[in-house]
């Protein structure tokens, strides 16, 4: 994933040794890397991406499961979420295979958009098939999936209290040795600064934030973020700076934060409220930032504070 991870946990008396915990975490990270990375040419996803239109390839079950989940998000949002954005991400300079960040021409955009579309993917038994020359990119959900996989393994090892972070996707469970909760800060979307917007206590919950303030470039006074609108083939163009989602599943939090970021402050909020998603929206305004939380987020934050 080209990023970082960290794990803090409370060791039980007579429990597994830290070296074993670390080895198990690394084993899962290596498995995900071998299956889903677009940063290496020998991964299962990279092998699929190199195939022409009309091809099928046997894929690991976790890859197929993530494609199915991505299709669920895509269908529920009328295409605001899409796992085939790799050509556009590379074109804008945000992909694993990109070279320079640029504002592409209309001709370049048209060419890339012709190779994008989640409906071109099909699963036939254990095979993933493509009806056009699309390329799969799981970056919008793979970190959350990985967090859930590691959390499950920690439970199997007898680790009940932990704070886990994979590329910024977080999950926590249990309590610290002093009995206090794991408290995680939601960052305010400020360029080049780390400012706390809100602090949430997590227990058995995952948290994901998508925003435009970390991975972006500017041209002619305009900001272009790495979150792309599949229907426009371009970075999102609204005033929503970040969305934080909290959910028992880090995978769901990861995917939903991306989906809501694409939909924007109005459509995204309406979607989240109707679906019962615990989400915090922060948008840019003339006087700074304005935050708005769904009713599910308010209930969760209030319960965690008790």
Where in the chain are the domains? 45-130, 170-305
On the question of a common fold for 45-130 and 170-305, the answer reads no
Predicted local confidence at residue 157, as pLDDT: 96
DSSP label at residue 14? T
Please give the class, per CATH, of domain 45-130.
mainly alpha
0.85 surpassed by pTM: yes
Contact 241, 282 (CB under 8 A): yes
As given in the structure block, the two tokens for residue 293 are 């939380």
Q: Which CATH number is associated with domain 170-305?
A: 3.10.520.10
**CA 266/CA 95 separation, integer angstroms:** 28
The β-bridge partners of 182 are 202
As given in the structure block, the two tokens for residue 18 are 């830290």
Instruction: Using alpha carbons, select from 8, 136, 150, 155 the residue that is nearest to residue 69.
Output: 136
The torsion angle over the Cα atoms of residues 90, 260, 116 and 251, rounded to 10 degrees, is: 80
Low-confidence stretches of the chain (pLDDT < 50) are none
The three-state DSSP-derived secondary structure of 243-282 is: EEEEECCHHHHHHHHHHHHHHHHHHHHHHHHHHCCEEEEE
pLDDT tens digits for range 44-97: 999 999 999 999 999 999 999 999 999 999 999 999 999 999 999 988 888 777
Predicted local confidence at residue 286, as pLDDT: 79
Predicted local confidence at residue 2, as pLDDT: 76
- Helices and strands (DSSP H and E) totals, the chain: 8, 16
**Chain mean position to CA 245:** 10
């Amino acid at each position: 994933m080209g990023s970082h991870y960290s794990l803090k946990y409370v060791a039980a008396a007579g429990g597994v040794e830290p070296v074993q915990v670390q080895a198990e975490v690394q084993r899962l990270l290596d498995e995900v890397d071998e299956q889903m990375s677009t940063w290496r040419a020998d991964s299962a996803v990279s092998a699929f991406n190199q195939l022409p239109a009309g091809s099928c390839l046997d894929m690991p079950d976790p890859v197929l499961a993530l494609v199915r989940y991505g299709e669920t998000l895509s269908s529920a949002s009328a295409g605001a979420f899409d796992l085939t954005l790799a050509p556009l991400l590379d074109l804008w300079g945000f992909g694993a295979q990109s070279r320079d960040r640029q504002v592409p021409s209309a001709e370049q955009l048209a060419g890339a958009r012709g190779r994008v579309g989640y409906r071109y993917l099909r699963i036939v038994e254990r095979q993933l098939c493509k009806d056009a020359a699309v390329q799969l990119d799981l970056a919008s959900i793979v970190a959350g999936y990985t967090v859930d996989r590691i959390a499950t393994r920690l439970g199997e090892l007898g680790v009940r209290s932990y704070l886990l972070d994979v590329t910024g996707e977080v999950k926590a469970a249990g309590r610290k040795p002093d009995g206090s909760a794991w408290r995680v800060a939601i960052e305010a979307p400020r360029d080049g600064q780390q400012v706390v917007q809100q602090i949430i206590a997590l227990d058995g919950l995952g948290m994901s934030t998508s925003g435009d303030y970390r991975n972006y470039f500017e041209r002619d006074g305009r900001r272009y973020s790495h979150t792309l609108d599949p229907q426009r083939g371009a970075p999102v163009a609204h005033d929503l700076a970040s969305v934080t989602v909290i959910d028992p599943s880090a995978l769901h939090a990861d995917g939903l934060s991306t989906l809501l970021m694409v939909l924007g402050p109005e459509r995204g909020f309406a979607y989240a409220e109707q679906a019962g998603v615990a989400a915090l929206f922060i948008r840019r305004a003339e006087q700074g930032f304005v935050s708005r939380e769904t009713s599910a987020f308010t209930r969760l934050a209030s319960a965690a504070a008790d």
